[in-house]
């Protein structure tokens, strides 16, 4: 069983910075991918950034160069550093964990609102 606890969401102005955190606890498999997804009202959930247990990263084109995903393995925590945010970044951001073996897990989501 894995639990994901997200934090760091909030309201900020365009151009600002924010860091989201996702702390995982429980039985974490050694080979996995952790991702940040986001979903705006009326829109499909989309992948924002991903990081593997081997520290390979992947970003959506819309956030490339502005967002950085990182991981602290000792704390089982994944971060999303959001810089130069835009109103288009407004969404509920979800942490996602997918082990090689076992079921997937989702966080509860944290709201990020960017004003112009």
**pLDDT in the model for residue 33:** 94
pLDDT per residue as tens digits for the range 31-60:
899 999 999 999 999 999 999 989 999 999
Secondary structure (DSSP) of 14-28: TT--EEEEEEEEE--
pLDDT at 27: 85
pLDDT at 49: 98
What's the rounded Cα separation, in Å, for the pair 37 and 91?
A: 9
pLDDT, averaged across the chain: 95
């Amino acid at each position: 069983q894995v639990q994901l606890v997200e934090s760091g969401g909030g309201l900020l102005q365009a151009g600002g910075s924010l860091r989201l955190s996702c702390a995982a606890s429980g039985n974490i498999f050694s080979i996995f991918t952790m991702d940040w997804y986001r979903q705006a009202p009326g829109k499909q959930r989309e992948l924002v950034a991903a990081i593997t247990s081997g520290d390979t990263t992947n970003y959506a084109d819309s956030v490339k160069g502005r967002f950085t995903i990182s991981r602290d393995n000792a704390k089982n925590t994944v971060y999303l550093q959001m810089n130069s945010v835009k109103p288009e970044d407004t969404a509920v951001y979800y942490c996602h964990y997918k082990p090689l073996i076992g079921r997937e897990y989702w966080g509860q989501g944290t709201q990020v609102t960017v004003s112009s």
